[in-house]
């Protein structure tokens, strides 16, 4: 009888967005592994393994930047709404 020492769960996600490579639009494919994700373009040979920790840190940076930009947009919008009475 054989025992599986390490669980090898894998999930495959194909995004709705596409990226141009050599003039062709290709879907982004993300393969989930326990320790990292593999990102590649559909129909392409290149694979890029990325640690989950790096993905999380990038998401945190982007989230903070998006909150800052949204705050600036709201402030400029509220300033334009307030017009002085004549």
- pLDDT given for residue 34 in this prediction: 86
- pLDDT given for residue 74 in this prediction: 87
For 41, other C-beta atoms within 10 Å of its C-beta total 19
Query: Which of 1-10, 58-67, 71-80 shows the lowest per-residue confidence on average (mean pLDDT)?
Result: 1-10
Q: What is the pTM of this model?
A: 0.61
- pLDDT given for residue 15 in this prediction: 85
The 3-state DSSP class for residue 72 equals helix
pLDDT (mean) for 54-75: 93
What are the pLDDT digits (tens) for 31-44?
Answer: 988 889 999 999 88
């Amino acid at each position: 009888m054989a025992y599986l020492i390490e669980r090898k769960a894998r999930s495959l996600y194909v995004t709705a967005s596409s990226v141009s490579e050599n003039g062709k639009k290709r879907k982004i494919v993300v393969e989930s592994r326990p320790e990292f994700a593999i990102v590649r373009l559909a129909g392409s040979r290149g694979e890029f393994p990325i640690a989950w920790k790096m993905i999380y840190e990038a998401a945190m940076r982007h989230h903070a930047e998006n909150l800052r930009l949204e705050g600036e947009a709201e402030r400029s919008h509220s300033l334009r709404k307030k017009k002085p009475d004549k």
